[in-house]
Amino acid sequence: MWYNYLKVAFRTLWRNKFLSGINLFGLALGMAACLLILQYTSFEWSYDRFHGNSDRIYRLQLAHYTAGDLIEKSAKTEPELGPALKAAFPEVKEVTRAAPWLGGVVSTVGTDGEPRAFNESDLFFVDAAFLRLFTFPVIKGSVSALNEPNTVIITEKAAEKYFGTQNPLGKVLTLDNHNQGHHYKVTVRGVCQDVPANSHLKFSFLVSRQVTGQEGGPNTWSAYTYVLVAPHTKVARLEAKLAGFTTQNLAAQTGKLRYKQILSLQPLTRIHLYSRLAEEVPGSGNGQMVWFLTFMAGIILLIAYVNYINLATARATERAKEVGIRKVLGSRRGHLIRQFFLESLLLNLCSAALALGLVQIALPWFSRLVGIPGSFHLEPQYWFVGAFLGLLTVGALLAGIYPALVLSAYQPVQVLKGPVGKLSQGLTLRHSLVIFQFVVSVTLMAGTFTVYRQLNYMRHKDLGIDLTHTLIIAAPQARRETPEQEVTFYKKNERFQTEISHYPGITGITATSNVPGIAIDWAPRYFNRADVPNEAAVNRPTMAVGPEFIDQFHLTVMAGEKITPERAKQMAAREIAPIMLNEAAVRSCGFSSPAKAIGQVIFMRNGSGKNFKNEVVTVVRDFHQQSLKEAYTPLIFHVTENLGAVTHYALKVNSTHLNQTIAQIELTYKNLFPGSPFEYFFLDQFFNQQYQTDQQFGYVFGLFTGFAIFVACLGLFGLCLFTATQRTKEIGIRKVLGAPVSSILFLLAKDYMKLVLIANVLALPLAWWGMQEWLQNYAFRIPLTGWLFVVPAFIVLIIALLTVSTQTIKIALANPVEALRNE
């Protein structure tokens, strides 16, 4: 019996090759789009789940309050909190801390006696529990190596980078960052596997927190603190106990709380997608986007199944006689339902096979587009295989259930004596499904327009600072141990800038401790006005810049004097250090206007508790230190001629003979700073890298919006083709009676155009609401104007009209004799 069912199913599909092909290709495209999106979203959701105890690992986060107002939520905590937490609560089984290095030079001496040095930032100072709590397998050496002082475990890539094919164990690495006073010599005691791409902590070096070479050292730094809780721990109850613990612990440390602090636990597996904290690990994802794309995958697949249902119900009258004859010959309703379900399942299986082929072809390109590493694949994940087979079965059942029940319910006497139901059979359902398809299409296209306009806005908006033609060179970070070495560096630094400025391709150069596009993460510096108590001081980002900074980056002075190199030399002798604020810092400090801030005294206290007196001499217009997703950063600038805390040189270059200019700069740099790595990048390109995640979302959104519209139009084309074929004789009679082609086209297209218009009316408010919610993620965003929604609605209407017209014009132009010859 099943063989007969299968044979009839193949014959039915083959007899209606064109419509079956539309269904097959539409379903395959829907499934392929769904699988590709799931490839991306599964990668995003997989972050940190490879750790053996990922469900029991939490990160501490600290909220700061002043007068009941939330000031900041930070991903870092004081280093003493973790061990104190473990001692106080039996639910906490293990604690580890990871203090990120602010960057610097890592160097060693090769077998040829030549130094190998690179600027590195993916380095953490960790305690011995780090590799017990996290699953980063050590393949050489021992996990316990971090128990020893001045040791480091490196990744396989780092081992190859610094030591080539040599055994790295026992080799010595030197870590230098003069600006932070870091000079550490550490011995390689282990090599671990490269960090998976789906880890929120990405590192090449794990250095023991017990290092010598600086007073205090990493043990005094704030750090990312992770805890492993006991199985079956009620985390909510544990969090409820933390408020009192935090207050007592910090009061014991500081003697007096500056502000209220509340500690909470953040699940490890939610950090990548759902953490928006200060001092966060770079490279976070967006859970909202991931959920939306997952929803979009389901919608595209649903549109494909809607096509199947539409065509199946439209063909119901065509198969009525077949049903009648089968029933007369003894078929029961259950037999007919199994037959129609088998046809649906067969079509789904063929579509699934085609979809898997399309995915294999498109996957390398798609992975590059959205940044999925080649090592990540869905195939080995058994849950996905089960989910896909389940989806296929459910899809086949849902797509086949309505046609099967409708067709199998026909009475033999009724269907054998004449047409049943005409074209009205399932008409309401078909119209509803067409409306649904185009509601989705219009909404997605309006969303695509909005996403691309927002991305374009962020990439081209005036940043308040000129980043064009700016070449950034990493400054040398070799440790300067003596005053003589310090004087020598200043002389070399001045000579380097002087020589470079005379090159034909260079129009300006300045030194800086930071550049736009990089979060400022110096040691804590707390600022307060002279009339505000120290307890109310707040931590504010601080930059040290050369006096050329204002002119070179075209900053606008809002109040006070513009600090020039000549003026900076005069100010160097002042007892009170001059500082420059941006407008956001003016507001943050409580001044009513930039003019009111000029001449005011601000105290700065560093992490060691030392106080310094500063006078505001300049206020510049706000500029974007980071992406437009963030509000303006309050910035405090120390402008000085002899910049000791230099991390970068910023050069204004022209594009003529750029390669030769860079080669000249490199030669000068290496002559003056031998042993320091020469590395550079262009600032505008570097700044725009902050939008990579948003761009990937835009690409995926636009690509699959096109998929959705194409699949919807494919179904509309098949439905119009079937309807027009059913009305061939009617069209022939109308032509014989003198009806022009335009009136026939209008006759066939008007019903579908009404449905698309209704879909537009329903989609526009939905699209407006969705985009309004999405734009809330951006501090600086575009206004939602009418054309963002009207234009997509008009485009979809035109696409639908062209889809309908393609087949109806062909039938309308046909010879009426061909349609009437059998009458």
Residue 804 is predicted with a pLDDT of: 73
Residue 158 is predicted with a pLDDT of: 92
pLDDT of 419 above 60: no
Alpha-carbon gap, residue 520 to 584, rounded angstroms = 15
Alpha-carbon gap, residue 131 to 136, rounded angstroms = 6
Residues in the chain: 823
Average pLDDT, the chain: 79
Neighbours of 662 (CB within 10 A): 17
Question: Model confidence at 404, in pLDDT bands (50, 70, 90)?
Answer: low
DSSP label at residue 521: -
Q: Which of 799, 795, 642 is nearest to 717 (CA)?
A: 799
Neighbours of 504 (CB within 10 A): 11
* Residues in Cβ contact with 198 at an 8 Å cutoff, skipping those fewer than 6 apart: 43, 46, 47, 48, 49, 50, 272, 376
Q: Side chain identity at 670, as an amino acid letter?
A: K
Residue 96 is predicted with a pLDDT of: 93
3-state helix, strand, coil in the chain (%, to 5): 50, 20, 30
DSSP label at residue 629: T
Question: Model confidence at 620, in pLDDT bands (50, 70, 90)?
Answer: very high
| Averaged pLDDT, 753-777 | 86
| Averaged pLDDT, 731-746 | 74
Q: Are 402 and 309 in contact (CB under 8 A)?
A: yes
pLDDT, tens only, 624-683: 988 888 888 888 888 877 666 678 889 998 877 888 889 999 999 988 888 788 888 998
pLDDT of 748 above 60: yes
Out of 175-184, 475-484, 726-735, the most confident range is 175-184
Half-sphere exposure of 295 (CA within 13 A, CB side): 9
Alpha-carbon gap, residue 24 to 10, rounded angstroms = 13
Which of 731 and 649 is assigned the larger pLDDT? 649
pLDDT, tens only, 557-613: 999 888 888 888 777 777 788 889 999 988 888 888 999 889 888 888 765 566 778
Alpha-carbon gap, residue 535 to 428, rounded angstroms = 70
Q: Give the Cα-Cα-Cα angle 556, 557, 561 (nearest 5 degrees).
A: 150
> Which helix or strand (DSSP H or E) is residue 262 part of?
strand 260-267
Q: Which of 652, 696, 477, 677 is nearest to 554 (CA)?
A: 652
Which of 12 and 54 is assigned the larger pLDDT? 54
Question: What is the value of pTM for the model shown?
Answer: 0.79
Write out the two tokens for 99.
Answer: 């203090």
Q: Would you say the C-alpha torsion 160, 162, 165, 169 has a positive or negative sign?
A: negative
| Averaged pLDDT, 122-135 | 91
pLDDT, tens only, 23-53: 778 888 888 888 888 888 888 888 999 998 9
Which of 759 and 380 is assigned the larger pLDDT? 759
Alpha-carbon gap, residue 677 to 681, rounded angstroms = 13
Residue 414 is predicted with a pLDDT of: 58
Question: Model confidence at 204, in pLDDT bands (50, 70, 90)?
Answer: very high
Q: Are 413 and 323 in contact (CB under 8 A)?
A: no
Alpha-carbon gap, residue 156 to 165, rounded angstroms = 11
Domain ranges of the chain: 57-274, 445-462+691-823, 470-690
Return the minimum-mean-pLDDT range out of 370-384, 459-473, 725-739: 370-384
The answer for 181, left when phi > 0, alpha when psi is -120 to 50, beta otherwise, is left
Residue 156 is predicted with a pLDDT of: 93
Residue 248 is predicted with a pLDDT of: 58
Q: Which of 165, 172, 140, 145 is nearest to 155 (CA)?
A: 140
pLDDT of 373 above 90: no
Residue 479 is predicted with a pLDDT of: 66
Strands 115-120 and 151-155: unpaired
Backbone Cα Rg of the chain: 34
CA 456: distance to chain centroid? 16
pLDDT of 278 above 90: no
Q: Are 312 and 403 in contact (CB under 8 A)?
A: yes
CA 191: distance to chain centroid? 30
Pseudo-torsion of CA 584, 585, 590, 591, nearest 10°? -90
| Residue whose structure tokens are 């109308």 | 734
Distances (CA, A) of 264 to 60, 61, 275, 657: 6, 5, 13, 55
pLDDT of 267 above 90: yes
| Averaged pLDDT, 682-692 | 85
Residue 776 is predicted with a pLDDT of: 86
Q: What percent of the chain has pLDDT over 90?
A: 11
The b/e string for 571-581 (b: 16+ C-beta within 10 A; e otherwise) is: beeeeebbbbb
Alpha-carbon gap, residue 712 to 440, rounded angstroms = 9
Question: Model confidence at 308, in pLDDT bands (50, 70, 90)?
Answer: confident
Write out the two tokens for 819.
Answer: 């349609």
Residue 101 is predicted with a pLDDT of: 85
The b/e string for 97-111 (b: 16+ C-beta within 10 A; e otherwise) is: bbbbbbbbbbbbeee
| Averaged pLDDT, 526-537 | 67
Q: Are 296 and 387 in contact (CB under 8 A)?
A: no
Q: Are 804 and 752 in contact (CB under 8 A)?
A: yes
| Residue whose structure tokens are 């077949």 | 322
> Which helix or strand (DSSP H or E) is residue 202 part of?
none
Return the minimum-mean-pLDDT range out of 251-255, 468-472, 512-516, 590-594: 251-255
| Averaged pLDDT, 247-253 | 54
Residue 255 is predicted with a pLDDT of: 43
Pseudo-torsion of CA 729, 730, 736, 738, nearest 10°? -160
Which of 606 and 705 is assigned the larger pLDDT? 705
Say what angle helices 728-736 and 692-726 make with each other, to 10 degrees: 70
| Averaged pLDDT, 50-78 | 81
Q: What percent of the chain has pLDDT over 70?
A: 77
